[in-house]
């Protein structure tokens, strides 16, 4: 399978469809809010509704794998169908799986999400680097080979993350800063955007102490229900704000199951992001 690098495809998708990633998070409370049962049938109805409503509109879908895995093989079958339908509609797929391991096991995760022959093949996947950035090499290599991307957990919005991510190494740099430096090295020379991104919470406030200029995308969860707004993005991301991929889940999904309401909510968030980052009309 030959395709352009993920970073280039992401840049084009955000410029043409709007700078927004919508999560597909069918957790039990949201299924209930939609009047659906917390079972495979409810999962399938929810997921199909989201993809059909937004697949031709949003730049990126971010399915949360755990909410499908909890139903076992039947849940994964729903996820596989959703990936095929989203891809057919032209949306990019970022699998939120947060995988992290070493050696052949990391290679197996890479085969799962970054190999075109896999039924769970995605355009990008989230990864945890806390067995060492080098442990991600099988996935990084697979991403290059197949025109895919990865998003590495760097500065997450959960308070517990600070004890690891902001810990100071022997060289005086924080762990998060080291991860950002690794990503910048992987993206060196890539145009118009590298394919190796960082996950950086939109709720974290001023991050000027960190060099976010990794020449790659910055996935920014926390918009909407978690309290951040598009207007916060310039403060959090500074000069790197143009490369931010704001992620919204409940802020859009709570407007379902009405398809028109879902589309309107996604369009509103995308417009607010454009305005905030100075790309309105771009």
- Residue-range domains of the chain with CATH: 6-158+186-231+244-276 (3.20.20.70)
Model confidence, pTM: 0.96
What are the pLDDT digits (tens) for 139-185?
A: 999 999 999 999 999 999 999 999 999 999 999 999 999 999 999 99
pLDDT at 1 over 60: no
Residue of 12, 87, 98, 242 with catalytic role:
98
Convert 19-43 into a string of H (helix), E (strand) and C (coil): CCEEEECCCHHHHHHCCCCCCHHHH
CA distance 60 to 44: 19
What are the beta bridge partners of residue 92? 60
Alpha carbon separation from 141 to 8, 123, 137, 147 (Å, rounded): 17, 14, 6, 10
CA distance 51 to 231: 27
Sign of CA dihedral 271, 277, 279, 280: positive
Q: Helix, strand, coil: what percent of the chain each, to 5?
A: 50, 15, 35
Residue 64's pLDDT is 98
What are the pLDDT digits (tens) for 112-126?
A: 999 999 999 999 999
What are the pLDDT digits (tens) for 37-89?
A: 999 999 999 999 999 999 999 999 999 999 999 999 999 999 999 999 999 99
Give catalytic status of residue 98 as yes or no: yes
């Amino acid at each position: 399978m030959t395709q352009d690098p993920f970073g280039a495809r992401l840049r084009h998708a955000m410029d043409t469809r709007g700078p927004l990633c919508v999560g597909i998070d069918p957790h039990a409370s949201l299924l209930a809010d939609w009047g659906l049962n917390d079972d495979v049938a409810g999962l399938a109805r929810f997921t199909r509704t989201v993809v059909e409503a937004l697949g031709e509109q949003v730049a990126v879908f971010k399915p949360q794998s755990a909410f499908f895995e909890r139903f076992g093989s039947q849940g994964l079958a729903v996820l596989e169908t959703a990936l095929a339908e989203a891809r057919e509609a032209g949306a990019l797929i970022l699998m939120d799986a947060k995988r992290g391991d070493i050696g052949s096991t990391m290679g197996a995760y890479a085969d799962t999400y970054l190999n075109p022959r896999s039924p769970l093949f995605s355009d990008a996947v989230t990864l945890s680097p806390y067995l060492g950035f080098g442990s991600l090499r099988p996935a990084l290599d697979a991403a290059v080979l197949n025109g895919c991307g990865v998003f590495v957990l760097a500065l997450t919005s959960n308070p517990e993350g600070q004890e690891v991510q902001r810990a100071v190494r022997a060289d005086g740099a924080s762990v998060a800063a080291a991860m950002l430096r690794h990503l910048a090295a992987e993206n060196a020379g890539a145009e118009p955007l590298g394919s190796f991104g960082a996950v950086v919470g939109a709720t974290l406030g001023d991050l000027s102490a960190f060099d976010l200029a990794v020449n790659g995308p910055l996935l920014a969860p926390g918009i909407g229900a978690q309290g951040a707004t598009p207007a916060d993005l310039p403060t959090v991301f500074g000069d790197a704000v143009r490369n931010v991929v704001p992620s919204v889940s409940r802020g859009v999904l709570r407007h379902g199951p009405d398809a028109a309401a879902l589309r309107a909510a996604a369009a509103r968030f995308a417009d607010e992001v454009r305005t905030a980052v100075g790309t309105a009309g771009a």
